[in-house]
Each structure stands twice: as C-alpha cells, then as structure tokens.
Chain A
Amino acid sequence: MNESKSIPVSSSASSGKMLQAMVGIGVLCALLIVLTYEGTFDRIEQNKAVALEQAIFKVLPGITQTEAYQFNENNAFSLLDSENTDREIIYAGFDSNDQLVGVAITTSGQGYADILRILYGYDIEKEAIIGIHVLESKETPGLGDKIEKDANFLENFKALDVSLNENKSELNNTVVTVKNGTKQNPWEVDGITGATISSRAIGDMLGLSTKRWVPLVFKNKDSFKIQKVEE
C-alpha cells in the first residue's frame, strides 16, 4: 500500500468526462436521497405527531383524544383544514365521554439564551392552567433548564388561576412570576432561585398569551366539539 502515489486518473480528463462523472454521481446521489426520504417519510411524520400528541396529553391530563383547531379571521375557531396553514392553531382535548376538557395553546417568548416555546393546557371548567410543557429551549443546562425539571416550579402549573371577570371579557389577574418562596395568590408563579430570568420568561409568556387567548377560547367554547361526521 502506498498512499503517497498520485491520484490514479489522467490529469487531462476531457470536459465530457468530467460532466459525465458529475452528472453520474449527482443522479446516483439524488436517487439515494429520494429512496431514503420515501422510506422514512411516514415514520418521521408519525414520530412528530406522536411527540406533539404526547405533549398535549401531558398538559391536559385526563383527556383521551385531541383535535387541532385553527383561529380564523372572524375571531372564531374551526377544525384545522390543511389549506390554511398560516392560521394559528390550538389543540382541544376531550375526555372519554367526548366532553371538552380544555385546550392546549403554544406560546413563545425570549428566555435567557434564546426563544423559549412552550405548550400549556387551559382547563375551561376550572378556569386554570393545568400543565405546561417546554417544546423548545436552549436554556443553560443545570440552571435555566430547571423550568423543565424543577418539581417545585412545575407544581405552579397544576392549578394556575386564569379566571375571567364577571362579563367574561378579561382576566381577573395577569399571570406573573414572583420571587422564590413568595407566592401568595393562585395566579402567581413561584420563581426559581438561580433561574430567575428563565422562570420570569415563562410567567411573562403565560401572562401575555392567556390575556389574549383565554377570553377568546371561553367565548367560543361551544365550537370545540367532537365532530365524528367529518372524515
């Protein structure tokens, strides 16, 4: 074996030969990629759907099925149709009696390191947030990522009050993060020592998002129904 010998191709290859080689390799590679894509497409889509579904089931404990709804221009919700992909989407969760339990809503905001994206579950009957799940986070491991792991912090979101005022147009109180250990009211989020900024970001995001969505969802709660006829 001698690796130092020159490449075993004549140095004066014609343009035709070069073209032939590049096109040949290109076609071969394209074929390989397309084959893999076709072979894995279903599996990947399924994985993504499962991941999202698991998150929805996590933030809305007790549901057995879920449907995606889109938010239309006329301030109403309708079942997601695949043509209007630019619409904002929320997910409704139903229990085994086909009764609406709540909705799961995604929201995002600036965390410590990068944009944070979370999914939270809003229980319409309890008028409370009953679970959150961090979809995307680049927060510092061991510090900022406590928002995903810290049991005391997650405890905040088992029943976080987002009740509406009497004429159901606005929230009684805005969700807000307070300093660790000073939570007094059900709408306050108890922050994390050592992850002040990340835990505040969660509170702020929830505050903004619930302010907008909760009255809308509550007003339109009858439009979320299991529609078995539509296939």
Chain B
Amino acid sequence: MADNNKRNAGFLGSIATAPSTDEFIKGLWRDNPVFVQVLGMCPVLAVSNTAENALAMGLATTFVLLMSNILVSSLRNFIPKQVRIASYILIIATFVTIIDYVIQAISIELHKSLGAFISLIVVNCLILSRAEAFASKNTIGKSILDALGMGVGFTFALFCLGAVRELLGNGSLFDYSLFPANFQNWIVMILPAGGFFTLAIWLLLFNSMKKKE
C-alpha cells in the first residue's frame, strides 16, 4: 500500500500547484477518472448500455464518493494510519448500502437494471483512491469539491458511453426514439463487447484532443 500511496502522490503531486478553486474542474477534464485515470472500469463497461443506466450509476457513485469523502476528511485526525484502509472500506460500504436501499425505494425497475453493480460500487477503486489520496489529507471543503468534480467527471464519462451505446444499439436516447421505426439496431453496442469498443473510441478521441491542447 505504501508504494501505491507514493505513486498516487507522485501522480497527483504534479498538479498540486493548481489553486484550490481548481479542485472541482480537475475531475471533469484533466484528471477525468475514466478517460485519464482509467479507474472503475467494471461499472463503466457493465452499466453503460443505456443513457439512463449510465446516469443512474454515475449519480449513485457520486453520492457515495461525496459522502465518503466528507466522512473520511472529517475523521482524518481520528483514524490511526494502521487501520485507515479498513475504516475507509467500512465507510464506503455503509454509503453503498444506503444508496442501494434508496434506489430500491425510488424504483424497483431501476434497481433491477443496475443489478449487482450497485453493491460493486464498494470496490470501485475511484472512491478508495479519492479517500486515500485526497480526503485523508485535506479539509472537508476541499474534499467536497474534489468528490463533486470526480463524481461529475465519472458521470459525464459514463453518460458519454451510455448515450453512444443506446443510440446505436437501440436507436434511442433515454428511451426516446430518435430514428425512423425501421432503424437497424447495432445489437453489439448493448452487449459487453460494445462497451469495450465505445470506451476505446472515446479514449482515442479524448487523448487526441488532449494532445492538441
């Protein structure tokens, strides 16, 4: 873990000179959790088959990220170093359980389509990495900005994938049909393979855009 910590610190250290108002923006673009850090690939590939699922997953993850960052940051002087990972996981798991209940209360249908992936937010390395690399060393205010930035960045990326996959795979966006009725669906796009294709193409676009900057 120590090595990992160092690497994280080195990676993030390079952007440490940015002013604190930048905490929010960095998650959206420069350090986008999906397109730059390539974290949390399991939900990104699995639950991005429709725009609605992608958005719901992104918002659920943002909620967990935000709450865990707040709690970790406020308890950062109370948690001894030796048990910090166990504590973070406990905190993250709590909020995942909470969001699981909340989604069931909102809509059973949505809960069914997100399936096991809600519980798997626990092991989304994005959340643990923000707790370990940011919230445990920064004030609550900064941690909230960081969580919101990363969460919105994650949601944005998921939505990018979900929108393309639903558009090609189902001819619709948020279940609203955009093409003539006899549009030929590219079924591969809603299948897992389509997730890989779409992610690869977005990464290609994102990297070429960053290169030009």
Query: Which chain A residues have a beta carbon within 8 Å of chain B's beta carbons?
Result: 1-5, 7-11, 13, 17-18, 21-22, 24-26, 29, 32-33, 36-37, 39-40, 43-44, 47-48, 51, 140-143
Contact = CB atoms under 8 A, between A and B. Distances in A.
Contacts of B16: 1-4
Interface of B: 9-10, 12-13, 16, 20, 49, 75-84, 86-87, 90-91, 93-95, 97-98, 101-102, 104-105, 107-109, 133-134, 136-138, 142, 169-170, 185, 187, 190-191
A157 B169 CA distance: 28
Nearest to A48: B108
28 contacts: A2-B13, A3-B134, A3-B137, A4-B9, A8-B137, A9-B80, A9-B81, A18-B82, A18-B83, A21-B78, A21-B80, A22-B86, A24-B78, A25-B75, A25-B79, A25-B87, A29-B91, A29-B93, A32-B94, A32-B98, A33-B97, A36-B102, A40-B101, A44-B101, A47-B107, A47-B108, A140-B187, A140-B191
B9 A21 contact: no
B204 to A, nearest CB: 25
- Central interface residue in B87, B91, B169, by most chain A CB within 10 Å: B87
Contacts of B93: 29
Contacts of A18: 80, 82-83
A50 B38 CA distance: 40
B187 A29 contact: no
* Chain A contact surface mostly: helix
3 tightest A-B contacts by CB? A13-B80, A142-B187, A29-B94
Contact of B169 (A17, A22, A39, A141): A141
A21 B98 contact: no
Given A21-B83, A21-B87, A43-B105, A3 B98 contact: no
Given A3-B134, A8-B137, A21-B78, 16 more contacts: A3-B13, A4-B12, A5-B137, A7-B136, A7-B137, A9-B77, A13-B82, A22-B86, A24-B78, A25-B90, A32-B95, A32-B98, A37-B101, A141-B49, A141-B170, A142-B170
